[in-house]
């Protein structure tokens, strides 16, 4: 089993603040995905990164894949209450996708 | 486009009873299929994955089993449920990205 550790586990911030979530592993992945999940629903894909050092931007969200393809970060600028949810990273290798431990984000209006 | 049907949405079962969760996929052929389990507010644990009919790979030893009797059908089973089997079970299908079903919340009492 390949473990991806996310930090922090819980994060509560005020609307308008910036935040960064980290996803770290000792394993190398061919791709890395970030998902957002609402309670009682399946995760929804936000982005996939495949190249070491790759940076992708999705509106206020910036995703980075580490040079060695072992870690990734998600940065949210000017967080909004709609950003509240569980953020999950997932590493892909072969036919398997391994998920991180999750970061529960609460944005307070 | 791919669609995943997963049922039931919620299930309450006594300890020692059998389990059968079904997942069917539409809009694709010969997909890779996955069963994950998720503890509340945490990451997803990969339980089983399948690359084709009758082909099942198990990630962790446990009280559960999986079967793929048809190309687009994936079943999660148990002969005797344990308290520790409680959790949120998600079926997923790999296409251009990993698509998730709506999940089954299983409570073993």
A42–B92 C-beta distance less than 8 A: yes
**Residue A47, preceding bond cis, omega within 30 degrees?**
no
SS (H, E, C) chain A: CCCEEEECCEEEEECCCCEEEEEEECCCCCEEEEEEECCCCCCEEEEEECCCCCEEEECCEEEEECCCCCEEEEEECCCCHHHCEEEEEEEEECCEEEEECCEEEEEEC
pLDDT tens-digit series, residues A78-94? 999 999 999 999 988 87
Mean pLDDT, chain B, whole residue set: 92
Confidence of residue B41 (pLDDT cuts 50, 70, 90): confident
What rounded mean pLDDT belongs to chain A?
A: 93
CB contact under 8 A, B41 and A4: no
Closest residue of chain B to A3, computed from CA coordinates: B45
Selected for mutation to probe chain B from A2, A46, A97 (highest B CB count within 10 Å) is: A97
CB A32 within 8 A of CB A48: yes
Whether the CB of A97 is below 8 Å from some CB of chain B: the reply is: yes
A39's tokens: 């309670």
Task: For residue B96, give every residue at least 6 positions away whose Cβ sits within 8 Å of its Cβ, in sequence order, or none.
Answer: none
Distance from CA of B5 to the nearest CA of A (A): 12
Measured distance CA(B19)–CA(B23) in Å, rounded: 13
On whether any CB of chain A is under 8 Å from the CB of B69, the answer is no
A102 pLDDT exceeds 90?
yes
How many percent of chain A have pLDDT more than 70? Answer: 98
**Minimum mean pLDDT among A90-99, B16-25, B31-40: which range?**
A90-99
Strand partners, A93: A96
- Count CA atoms closer than 13 A to A59's CA, side-chain side: 5
Q: Chain B within 8 Å of A84 (Cβ-Cβ)?
A: no
Q: With contact defined as beta carbons under 8 Å apart, do A8 and A102 qualify?
A: no
What does the pLDDT look like over A21-56, one tens digit per residue? 999 998 898 889 999 999 888 999 999 999 999 999
Question: Chain B residues with CB inside 8 Å of A45's CB?
Answer: 97-98
- Nearest CB to B41; choose among A1, A48, A104: A104
């Amino acid at each position: 089993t390949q473990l991806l550790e996310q930090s922090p586990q819980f994060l509560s911030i005020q609307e308008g603040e910036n935040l960064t979530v980290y996803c770290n592993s000792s394993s190398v992945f061919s791709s890395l995905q970030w998902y957002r999940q609402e309670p009682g629903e399946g995760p929804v894909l936000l982005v996939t990164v495949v190249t070491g050092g790759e940076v992708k931007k999705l509106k206020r969200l910036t995703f980075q894949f580490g040079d060695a393809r072992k870690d990734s970060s998600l940065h949210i600028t000017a967080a909004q209450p709609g950003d509240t949810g569980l953020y999950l990273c997932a590493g892909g290798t072969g036919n398997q996708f391994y998920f991180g431990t999750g970061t529960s984000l609460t944005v307070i209006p | 486009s791919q669609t995943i049907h997963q049922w039931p949405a919620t299930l309450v079962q006594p300890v020692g009873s059998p389990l059968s969760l079904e997942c069917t996929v539409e809009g694709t052929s010969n997909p890779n299929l996955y069963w994950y389990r998720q503890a509340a507010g945490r990451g997803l644990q990969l339980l089983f994955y399948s690359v084709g009919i009758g082909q099942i790979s198990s990630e962790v030893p446990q009280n559960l089993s999986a079967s793929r009797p048809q190309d687009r059908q994936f079943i999660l089973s148990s002969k005797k449920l344990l308290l520790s089997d409680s959790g949120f079970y998600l079926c997923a299908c790999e296409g251009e990205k990993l698509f998730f079903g709506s999940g089954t919340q299983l409570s073993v009492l």
